[in-house]
Amino acid sequence: MHVAFHLAVDLDTSLRTAATTAGLADAAAFTPEVRTADPKHGDFQANGTLGYAKARKLNPRATAEQLVAALPASVRDAYEVSIAGPGFINFTLKPAALLAWLQSFSTPEALATGAAAAHAGQTWVVDYSSPNTAKQMHVGHLRSAVIGEAICRLLAFTGARVIRDNHLGDWGTQFGKLIYGYKRWVNAEALADDAIEELERVYKLGHAATPDDSPELDEARRELVALQNGDPTNVALWKSFSEVSLAAFQKIYDRLGIQFDYHLGESFYNDQVERIYHELTATHPPLAEISEGALVVFHPEHPRFKTQPFLVRKADGASNYASTDLATALYRTEHFRADGIVVVTDFRQGDHFEQLFLTVKKWFVAKNYRLPELHHVTFGAVTGEDGKALKTRDGGVIKLKALLDEAEERAHAIVTAKNTERPEADQFSAEACRTIAQTVGIASVQYADLSQNRSSNYVFSWDKMLALDGNTAPYLLYAVARIHSIFRKAGVTPAELALNATATAPETPAEIMLARKLAKFPDALRIAGESLRPHFLCLYLFELAGDYSSFNSADKVLVDDPVLRARRLMLCARTLLTLETGLHLLGLRTLTRM
Ligand code: ARG
């Protein structure tokens, strides 16, 4: 039996063909609307008959019957098909089809090949993390990095060539004050010890020493102008600021499993902004106009942006965040030939990106440039359990490094406590406990962030994210480790080919339930990928782990009967494959023991 990876997509195609075969009026306009169904009713349901029939004053049930009668044999072989209510069509996978699906998609490569259709041949640039240099990353920088990396992996798995671009905030007026402070107060020893911390200290001193309208501020401005005009001393200093910042950021990225392809910060676009000003004013009619000395873009069709300007060049002639972002969009389109651009920042930059994208669309159309898909992926704030911004006990900002350290420490306390409860022969070494705690600690922070809808504020709770029960990383990592231990006991590896050849179709209710859930992995990928919302994948993995756990308590795996044993081991192997693939797509590391 041939089976498609995306069962729902395949059903959609079959139903469209059936509409033509059945001779439905206006068959090309029929949209099947295939969705995953409530498992009580089936695996998939097609709801499109209703709207289609209604618009044409037909009886939807009769239309559904015509469609079902015209379905190709392959669909009837694979599904129990029934019509429900006013004309919904329900599809339930037959055990033989479940087996065929599980046998076809039995390796990471097979899953990847199946998934690759969605973005095949496309290039996507993902702009995420993107902190400002000369400052430490704090808790506010967590979400962009974690969500951005998961999106990169989802896009890559679904076929895209992904370019990870760290759009560093490495330019701006703050560098005048920083250089002013640095030249006067830097401490070489402190700099060698923790460079960013020292840069933050001298910046604060520089800022305090240069109040508005003071001669000191004029001096700081002269440092900035010198930097902008290429003064070798200031340029060398500025370069060193970027280098030490990146080195510190990279330590955090390593812990989160992030590796950027490019670090093209704002400064990279300095010499590309003139072209932007020119092109935005040379269109007919011009997109940008001068208002109070500044160059601005209005969007007359928009309720707010018809009066709220998008400021693309300041009145003093200097470029700003908008100018460099316009240049960035152009560069990504021309240089990387991007089909899609994703920028991941918190929701407060919503207006900026809405105005940016509106401007880019009009400008690219006017110039006949290829227009990529543009997505601003936003997320809510990180708050404490009291709903207020997350702060240290004395009210300071929480540094990202300290937060990850604490995650590992807390996980370590849990892991060592559990370890002492094990029989002595099974206990982990102190070193193994460390490694497990590192993986669990970081994964918990990542997963807690990813598992809720990113648009909501994110309530940071150590107890919830480290809990062994519920939709958490420890729960899922534990499920993975438990399946590994079954294979160790059975003395076979999950990848054993013989498992595939000897397995029979699922029979018991728990086996069937689990197999049906496994075959829905492509839907979870698709929904998460299309909406750029990783929590849909998290929810799927959590439900899969639940179905696995029900299967595990209902049906013993390591039984003597070789047929049962082979079939159940195969289900264990596929669950493991799906859980590991899914968790790695989210950016988590997994364990074989814990
Ligand atoms: N550096 C900015 C910040 O810290 C984020 C940059 C996002 N990317 C962009 N192309 N504007 O808020």
pLDDT digits (tens, 9 = 90+) for 209-258: 999 999 999 999 999 999 999 999 999 999 999 999 999 999 999 999 99
As a whole number, the mean pLDDT across the chain is: 96
500 shares a domain with 422: yes
Asked whether residue 516 is domain-assigned, the answer is: yes
Question: Where would I find the H helices in 71-173?
Answer: 73-78, 95-104, 108-115, 142-157
- pLDDT value at residue 392: 87
Hey, what's the torsion of the CAs at 338, 343, 349, 350, to 10 degrees?
Answer: 70
Ligand 1: nearest atom to the Cα of 328: 10
Whether 499 has a pLDDT exceeding 80, the answer reads no
State mean pLDDT over 7-19: 96
Within-domain flag for 314: no
- What pLDDT does 485 receive? 96
Residues 198 and 346 in one domain: yes
Residue 116 above 80 pLDDT? yes
Residues near ligand 1 (Cβ within 6 A): 127, 130-132, 167, 169, 325, 328, 343, 345
- Picking from 71, 93, 115, the residue at the C-terminal end of a domain is 93
Residue 508 in this model has a pLDDT that exceeds 90: yes
Domain count, the chain: 3
Indicate whether 348 and 227 sit together in one domain. Answer: yes
- How far, in Å, CA of 347 to CA of 378, rounded? 5
The enclosing domain of 68 has a CATH number of: 3.30.1360.70
Which tokens in the block code for residue 28?
A: 């090309």
Residues 85 and 186 in one domain: no
Contact call for residues 48 and 87 (beta carbons, < 8 A): no
Q: Please give the Cα distance from 55 to 23 (Å, whole number).
A: 17
Domain final residue, candidates 382, 413, 441? 382
Q: Is residue 2 part of a domain?
A: no
Closest CA to 369 of 320, 330, 398: 330
The alpha carbon of 128 and the centre of ligand 1 are apart by a number of angstroms equal to 8
497: pLDDT strictly greater than 70: no
Ligand 1 centre distance from Cα of residue 328 (Å) = 11
User: Which residue is closest in CA terms to ligand 1's atom 6?
Assistant: 130
Question: Which residues, 6 or more positions from 112, have their beta carbon under 8 angstroms from its beta carbon?
Answer: 157
Query: Considering the domain boundaries, does residue 174 fall inside one?
Result: yes
Q: What is the Å distance from ligand 1's center to 343 Cα?
A: 8
Residue 436 token pair = 């497990």
Residue 359 C-alpha to ligand 1 middle, in angstroms? Answer: 18
Same domain, 35 and 148: no
413/364 same-domain check: no
| Same structural domain, 467 and 563 | yes
Beta strands in 516-567 (DSSP E): none
pLDDT, one tens digit per residue, over 544-594 is 999 999 999 999 999 999 999 999 999 999 999 999 999 999 999 999 999
Residues 116, 159 contacting (CB under 8 angstroms): yes
> Which of 77, 93, 109 is the last residue before a domain boundary?
93
Q: How far is the CA of 266 from the centre of ligand 1 (A)?
A: 9
State whether 445 and 364 are in the same domain.
no
In a domain, 572, yes or no: yes
Going from the Cα of 95 to the center of ligand 1, the distance in angstroms, rounded, reads 50
**Distance from the CA of 581 to the center of ligand 1, in angstroms?**
30
Nearest atom (ligand 1) to Cα of 353: 11
Nearby residues of 146 by Cβ (< 8 Å), 6 or more positions away:
256, 445, 446, 449, 450, 587
* Among 454, 445, 453, 452, CA closest to 473: 445
CA-nearest of 540, 551, 489 to 515 is 551
CATH number at residue 490: 1.10.730.10
Residues 6+ apart with CB under 8 A from 323: 269, 273, 276, 277, 312, 313
Ligand 1 atom closest to residue 167's alpha carbon, by position in its atom list: 8
pLDDT tens digits for 274-313? 999 999 999 989 999 999 999 999 999 999 999 999 999 9
Residue 141's CATH number: 3.40.50.620
Ligand 1: centre distance to CA 337 (Å): 21
Which ligand 1 atom lies nearest to the CA of residue 343?
A: 8
Residues 392-411 pLDDT 10s: 888 888 999 999 999 999 99
- Residue 509 included in any domain: yes
149 touches 258 (CB < 8 A): yes
- For residues 319 and 312, give the distance between their C-alpha atoms in angstroms, rounded to a whole number: 7
Residues 239 and 377 in one domain: yes
Residue 389: pLDDT band (50, 70, 90) is confident
Q: pLDDT (tens digit, 9 = 90+) per residue, 358-371?
A: 999 999 999 999 99
Residue type, 213: D
Q: Which residues of 542-578 are buried (b: 16+ CB within 10 A; e: fewer)?
A: bebbbbbbebbeebebeeeeeebbbbbbbbbbbbbbb
Return the residue whose CA atom lies nearest to atom 3 of ligand 1: 131
Helix (H) or strand (E) run with residue 340 in it: strand 340-346
- Check residue 207 and give its pLDDT: 97
Average pLDDT over residues 34-56: 95
Residue 48 lies in a domain: yes
Pocket test for ligand 1, best of 344, 345, 357 (most atoms within 8 A of CB): 345
Q: How many residues does the chain have?
A: 594
Please tell me the predicted confidence (pLDDT) of residue 2. Answer: 80
81 and 215 together in one domain: no
Residues 413 and 518 in one domain: yes
> HEC string of 464-520?
HHHCCCCCCHHHHHHHHHHHHHHHHHHCCCCCCHHHHHHCCCCCCHHHHHHHHHHCC
The pick from 130, 133, 324 for probing ligand 1's pocket by mutation, whose C-beta has the most ligand atoms within 8 angstroms, reads 130
* Domain hosting residue 84, numbered range: 7-93
Residue type, 200: E
Q: Are residues 186 and 216 in the same domain?
A: yes
Among residues 486, 492, 430, 437, the alpha carbon closest in space to that of 466 is found at: 437
Residue 312: burial class (beta carbons within 10 Å; 0-12, 13-18, 19+): buried
CA 565 to chain centre: 37
The continuous run of DSSP H or E covering 396 comes out as: none
Instruction: For residue 312, tell me if it sits in a domain.
Output: no
pTM for the structure as a whole? 0.96
Can you tell me the mean pLDDT for 179-201?
96
- Per-residue pLDDT of 50-92, as tens digits, reads 999 999 999 999 999 999 999 999 999 999 999 999 999 999 9
- SS3 for 323? helix
